[in-house]
Chain A
């Protein structure tokens, strides 16, 4: 159980020639499940490796449990790490893999046995304790890797894309197992992934990173409902948010958003902020799932109606992804499958202005 604090931390490689983390300040609370998410090369794994001590800090200060750990070797940081490739010792049995760290600490045999059996029971790997890693499936290996971390009873759990090598079904299963494990162990978890679904479903708070810079650090709900900028808005949510080039215009006493041949009302909460943008170009963001079809009950329908042709309709079960075109730009709507929509059909789509996000075109920040 511990807090983690990054204070103006930078990380560069090749004698400062390549800067991966320009300046990072981050506070992780005790017992929190924090997910670092972002595209490849955004610095999320480097951040995790700095906590582990596998990478040094170029400048700034890093604290674990309020103790500065810049120069503390990994073994003395009281952390445990689960790797993407499991990193199990291939020549040792599952039991020996799990007991290895405790053995190095010269912990009595009976205590090691107790701890290994406790972790094996929780993770349901008791029948495999005498097997070598090569005789296990991917999911079993990952559970052993988790067990190896658990037996050490660390202050901080670090997980580096632990589910990336598993198939989709197993990934969903392991996702809930890890969440339950966090609840059971009541320890600080820092989890790295590029999968936003994992981030949204598991995290107490999510750190969205891009090019070594934190774009937003908040709860999954806040990231989804109030993204700080276009990067976060585009990264969180699947399918990705639609971004439409628009202009803020005055219409009588009111202000409206004009795009293509359509006009959209501005929600009351945004009127004041958008006043200064009248006559200027902005970008509006609409999540595919917020676009409604004519089969949705009237009261939920939005004020702006788009008459479009479905270029492609993908039925995914209870929802259909409808791809359409506005001024040569491709967009997507995810609508409830209440009536069958086929490719080439004319469709009426409704946009509720209260679900629309507004972004500054230059800074890409949310308005």
Chain B
């Protein structure tokens, strides 16, 4: 029995280890090459930097100066922060309304949100792009509203599940204590929703920060381009014409903020996902 368990564990660990290597390899390659000289990147992309190939932060300086990286970084940061804040606040309010006001309208509303989760982006992208231009949403502020639309399905679904587990008596206690509906939401409900709110924020932040297609369609590759579009632009062109070192440095700087954000908030992800399953 023991030997059987051991064998099973070895197989499981081997599989998980392989998966981890597959997922981490691209990041490792980018990290290694971001501190190597341009020639060595194409010559030996998998070798670790040594005293000949190591160039320190030179690639990072070039990445900053040679492209409009900082502007794209700021655009991405603005769009992600504003969209995530909007999604978290508005969808949590919507979910609260759906759970507490039980009528046909809220039922339909809930199913619409759930339905929006399963509609593939490719199905709506042309009409969406058309209307984004028609309604003058093709700018860093306008795209926030589009993200609010795309992000609300999953967010409302997650918030609804959690709010159902909050006893209505807590809200009634708040009403008796003197809270208006707005105060009840921000002083009582929203703080209770913290684990779910952080989970929703992480999931949306990762998606919006890394999103390529939507900003490319709506904002294009002009002066308002986001980081993923900027990176893609830097990649375009004949091989060898491009400064691969600067590009690797750009990639490191692109993935760094979202990894840091995730590491800070990751303990809430599981909490938020299972919250509502069992009454605490």
A interface residues with partner B (beta carbon < 8 Å): 52-54, 73-75, 79-81, 83-85, 87-91, 100-101, 104-105, 134, 148
Q: In whole angstroms, what is the CA distance A88 to B176 when docked? A: 13
Identify 24 residue pairs between A and B in the complex whose beta-carbon atoms are under 8 Å apart, listed by A's number.
A52-B172, A52-B176, A75-B178, A81-B172, A81-B173, A81-B176, A85-B167, A85-B169, A87-B172, A87-B173, A88-B173, A89-B170, A89-B188, A89-B192, A90-B170, A91-B191, A91-B192, A104-B177, A104-B178, A104-B179, A104-B183, A105-B178, A134-B280, A148-B173
- Cβ contacts B167-195/A at 8 Å (1 or 0 each): 10110111111110001000110011010
Given A89-B188, A89-B192, 5 extra CB contacts under 8 A: A53-B176, A54-B172, A81-B176, A83-B169, A87-B173
Which residues of the partner chain A approach B178 to less than 8 Å between Cβ atoms?
A: 75, 101, 104-105
Which residues of the partner chain A approach B179 to less than 8 Å between Cβ atoms?
A: 75, 104
A74 touches B183 (CB 8 A): no
Which residues of the partner chain A approach B174 to less than 8 Å between Cβ atoms?
A: 89, 100
Which residues of the partner chain B approach A53 to less than 8 Å between Cβ atoms?
A: 176
B interface residues with partner A (beta carbon < 8 Å): 167, 169-170, 172-179, 183, 187-188, 191-192, 194, 280
Which residues of the partner chain B approach A85 to less than 8 Å between Cβ atoms?
A: 167, 169
Quote the shortest CB–CB distance from A78 to chain B (angstroms).
10
B191 touches A74 (CB 8 A): no
Which residues of the partner chain B approach A73 to less than 8 Å between Cβ atoms?
A: 175
Q: In whole angstroms, what is the CA distance A81 to B192 when docked? A: 21
4 tightest Cβ-Cβ pairs between the two chains A and B:
A101-B177, A87-B169, A75-B178, A87-B173
Beta-carbon nearest neighbor of A149 in chain B: B176
Q: In whole angstroms, what is the CA distance A198 to B191 when docked? A: 36
Which residues of the partner chain B approach A134 to less than 8 Å between Cβ atoms?
A: 280
Q: In whole angstroms, what is the CA distance A321 to B175 when docked? A: 48
Q: In whole angstroms, what is the CA distance A88 to B174 when docked? A: 9
Beta-carbon nearest neighbor of A158 in chain B: B176
Beta-carbon nearest neighbor of A83 in chain B: B169
Beta-carbon nearest neighbor of A49 in chain B: B172
Which residues of the partner chain B approach A75 to less than 8 Å between Cβ atoms?
A: 175-179
Beta-carbon nearest neighbor of B172 in chain A: A54
Which residues of the partner chain B approach A101 to less than 8 Å between Cβ atoms?
A: 176-178
Beta-carbon nearest neighbor of A104 in chain B: B178
Which residues of the partner chain B approach A81 to less than 8 Å between Cβ atoms?
A: 172-173, 176
Q: In whole angstroms, what is the CA distance A175 to B74 when docked? A: 62
B167 touches A87 (CB 8 A): yes
A54 touches B175 (CB 8 A): yes
Q: In whole angstroms, what is the CA distance A84 to B167 when docked? A: 11
A83 touches B172 (CB 8 A): yes
Which residues of the partner chain A approach B191 to less than 8 Å between Cβ atoms?
A: 89, 91
Which residues of the partner chain B approach A80 to less than 8 Å between Cβ atoms?
A: 176
Which residues of the partner chain B approach A148 to less than 8 Å between Cβ atoms?
A: 173, 177
Which residues of the partner chain A approach B169 to less than 8 Å between Cβ atoms?
A: 83-85, 87
Q: In whole angstroms, what is the CA distance A134 to B174 when docked? A: 18
Beta-carbon nearest neighbor of A84 in chain B: B169
Quote the shortest CB–CB distance from B270 to chain A (angstroms).
18
Beta-carbon nearest neighbor of A77 in chain B: B176
Quote the shortest CB–CB distance from A111 to chain B (angstroms).
16
B192 touches A90 (CB 8 A): yes
Which residues of the partner chain A approach B170 to less than 8 Å between Cβ atoms?
A: 87-90
Partner of B173, one of A83, A91, A104, A105: A83
Beta-carbon nearest neighbor of A152 in chain B: B177
Q: In whole angstroms, what is the CA distance A85 to B191 when docked? A: 19
Which residues of the partner chain A approach B167 to less than 8 Å between Cβ atoms?
A: 85, 87
Known A-B contacts A101-B178, A105-B178; the reply to A91 vs B194 at CB < 8 A is yes
Q: In whole angstroms, what is the CA distance A52 to B174 when docked? A: 12
Which residues of the partner chain A approach B175 to less than 8 Å between Cβ atoms?
A: 54, 73-75
Interface centre among A80, A87, A88, by most B CB within 10 Å? A87
Q: In whole angstroms, what is the CA distance A83 to B172 when docked? A: 9
Q: In whole angstroms, what is the CA distance A134 to B172 when docked? A: 20
Q: In whole angstroms, what is the CA distance A84 to B169 when docked? A: 9
Interface centre among B169, B170, B173, B191, by most A CB within 10 Å? B173
Which residues of the partner chain B approach A90 to less than 8 Å between Cβ atoms?
A: 170, 192, 280
Which residues of the partner chain B approach A83 to less than 8 Å between Cβ atoms?
A: 169, 172-173
Quote the shortest CB–CB distance from B275 to chain A (angstroms).
12
Q: In whole angstroms, what is the CA distance A84 to B176 when docked? A: 15
Beta-carbon nearest neighbor of A75 in chain B: B178
Which residues of the partner chain B approach A52 to less than 8 Å between Cβ atoms?
A: 172, 176
Which residues of the partner chain A approach B176 to less than 8 Å between Cβ atoms?
A: 52-54, 74-75, 79-81, 101
Quote the shortest CB–CB distance from B189 to chain A (angstroms).
10
Q: In whole angstroms, what is the CA distance A115 to B123 when docked? A: 61
Q: In whole angstroms, what is the CA distance A73 to B178 when docked? A: 9
Which residues of the partner chain A approach B280 to less than 8 Å between Cβ atoms?
A: 90, 134
Quote the shortest CB–CB distance from B77 to chain A (angstroms).
29
Which residues of the partner chain A approach B187 to less than 8 Å between Cβ atoms?
A: 100
Beta-carbon nearest neighbor of A79 in chain B: B176
Quote the shortest CB–CB distance from B262 to chain A (angstroms).
24
Q: In whole angstroms, what is the CA distance A85 to B187 when docked? A: 20
Quote the shortest CB–CB distance from B119 to chain A (angstroms).
35
Quote the shortest CB–CB distance from B170 to chain A (angstroms).
5
Q: In whole angstroms, what is the CA distance A100 to B173 when docked? A: 10
Which residues of the partner chain A approach B188 to less than 8 Å between Cβ atoms?
A: 89
Quote the shortest CB–CB distance from B180 to chain A (angstroms).
9
Q: In whole angstroms, what is the CA distance A85 to B280 when docked? A: 12
